[in-house]
């Protein structure tokens, strides 16, 4: 298919790509139609398969994705503005990161991190700096179990480079990937405290703001700061507000408490939304996310089944075999890049007529978003 040079230049312009992503991101929160919201799902049967699903009661299939530049040995760090961040250290001690946009069939391999040793513990977070329009990747590692500090380094897509940050004195609670919400990646951390010769651990949520590269602490709700014996906690995004949620798995995974921070970064607004009892002898399913209709997406440990749960009626719906699931939006991010390891500098030459086209396109996005928001409000 032939595309005119003017249109080709237009859709590859960073301003156009950013406006397109911003427009779709706003629609996801403004539109009450569940078909405007998508989930990316990786299933593992005889071989890995990738698909997008609508956020509806049936988890309806939107489309199958034929292009994915990785296999079952890669880990999906996260999804942001239509980009998937992948991590692989299968065949060497080096950790390899890849950014992929499966919609436009583009991927790039990132430079290797500065700190390349295979860590005792690692947590990685992928997100977007909305101020500088930059995608960033934060890597936190603990080299061995006796280390009092963890090492941190940050990758910037715009600079196409890593830089080492100051070491952190907090420990990593788990190897879970970080959660991106409100411009901040979140993970669980702990601090070892001494009180008259008795040591204990204080648990909390650590955040790293992608906009100003600043670390912050967020207190956990209730008594979770002093984690009860044999309990387990993890963080997931709560995009409806948007905010974050903490999942507490009780002793021996017999129950599950779901607490949501109703007003982001206001500790007093932690609210227990659901309490779920384990229906059988298997380990409690892991809560993976929330659907627009209020159902929970769960991943069962015993057979890797992806299921939904209506917490009000305790009704289960089975969707298939799970490997990974996350919210997703279609975008043009990476359309101005080439496949593989080479980074291409954006062409800064700009004719006046092309600039006018870009401005008109941005105006069109704004008017369309306003019209759709108005239509939504009229339908209520």
Question: How do 184-195 and 179-181 pair as beta strands?
Answer: antiparallel
Q: How many residues does the chain have?
A: 380
Contact 176, 189 (CB under 8 A): no
What is the model's pTM?
A: 0.78
What's the pLDDT score for residue 334? 57
CA gap 245, 235 in Å, rounded: 6
Q: H or E segment at 122?
A: strand 121-129
Phi, psi of 275 (to 5 degrees): -130, 120
What's the pLDDT score for residue 347? 34
What pLDDT digit, counting tens, does each position of 265-284 carry? 999 999 999 888 876 667 77
- Counting as low any pLDDT under 50, the low residues of the chain are 16, 20, 23, 26-29, 34, 335, 338-362, 364-370, 372-380
* Max CA pair span of the chain: 75
In CATH, the architecture of 74-342 is 6 Propeller (2.120)
CA-based nearest residue to 48, from 341, 324, 333 = 324
CA-based nearest residue to 138, from 106, 73, 183, 105 = 183
What's the pLDDT score for residue 91? 57
CA gap 305, 144 in Å, rounded: 34
Paired residues of 274 in beta bridges: 258
What's the pLDDT score for residue 219? 96
What's the pLDDT score for residue 180? 96
Q: How many Cα atoms within 13 Å fall on the side-chain side of residue 47?
A: 4
What's the pLDDT score for residue 98? 92
74: burial class by Cβ within 10 Å (0-12, 13-18, 19+)? buried
Contact 230, 247 (CB under 8 A): no
What's the pLDDT score for residue 205? 97
Name the residue ranges covered by the structural domains of the chain. Answer: 74-342
What's the pLDDT score for residue 376? 47
Q: The tokens 């008109």 sit on which residue? A: 360
The set of residues, in sequence order, having a beta carbon less than 8 Å from that of 92 and lying 6+ positions away, is none
């Amino acid at each position: 298919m032939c595309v005119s040079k003017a249109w080709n230049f237009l859709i590859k312009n960073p301003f156009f790509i950013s406006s397109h992503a911003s427009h779709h991101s706003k629609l996801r929160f403004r539109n009450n139609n569940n078909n405007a919201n998508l989930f990316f799902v990786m299933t593992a049967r005889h071989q890995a398969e990738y698909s997008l699903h609508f956020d509806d009661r049936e988890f309806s299939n939107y489309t199958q994705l034929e292009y994915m530049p990785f296999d079952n040995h890669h880990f999906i760090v996260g999804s942001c503005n239509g980009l998937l961040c992948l991590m692989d250290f299968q065949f060497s001690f080096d950790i390899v990161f890849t950014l992929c946009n499966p919609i436009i069939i583009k991927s790039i391999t990132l430079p290797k991190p500065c700190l390349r040793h295979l860590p005792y513990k690692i947590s990685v977070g992928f997100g977007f700096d909305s101020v500088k329009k930059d995608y960033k990747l934060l890597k936190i590692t603990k080299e061995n179990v006796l280390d009092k500090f963890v090492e941190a380094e940050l990758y910037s897509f715009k600079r196409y480079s890593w830089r080492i940050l100051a070491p952190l004195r907090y420990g990593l609670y788990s190897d879970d990937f970080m959660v991106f919400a409100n411009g901040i990646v979140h993970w669980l951390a702990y601090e070892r405290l001494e009180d008259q010769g008795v040591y204990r651990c204080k648990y909390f949520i650590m955040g790293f703001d992608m906009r100003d590269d600043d670390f912050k602490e967020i207190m956990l709700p209730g008594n979770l700061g002093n984690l009860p014996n044999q309990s387990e906690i993890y963080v997931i995004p709560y995009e409806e507000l948007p905010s974050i949620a903490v999942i507490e798995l009780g002793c021996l995974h017999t129950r599950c408490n779901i607490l949501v921070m109703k007003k982001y970064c206001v500790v007093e607004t932690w609210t227990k939304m659901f309490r779920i009892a384990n229906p059988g002898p298997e380990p409690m399913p892991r809560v993976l996310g929330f659907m627009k209709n209020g159902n929970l997406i769960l991943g069962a440990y015993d057979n890797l089944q992806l299921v939904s749960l209506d917490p009000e009626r305790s009704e289960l719906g089975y969707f298939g075999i799970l490997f990974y699931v996350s919210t997703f939006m279609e975008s043009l991010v990476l359309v101005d890049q080439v496949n593989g390891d080479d980074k291409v500098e954006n062409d800064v030459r700009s004719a006046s007529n092309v600039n006018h086209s870009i401005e008109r396109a941005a105006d069109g996005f704004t008017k369309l978003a306003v019209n759709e928001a108005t239509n939504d409000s009229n339908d209520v």
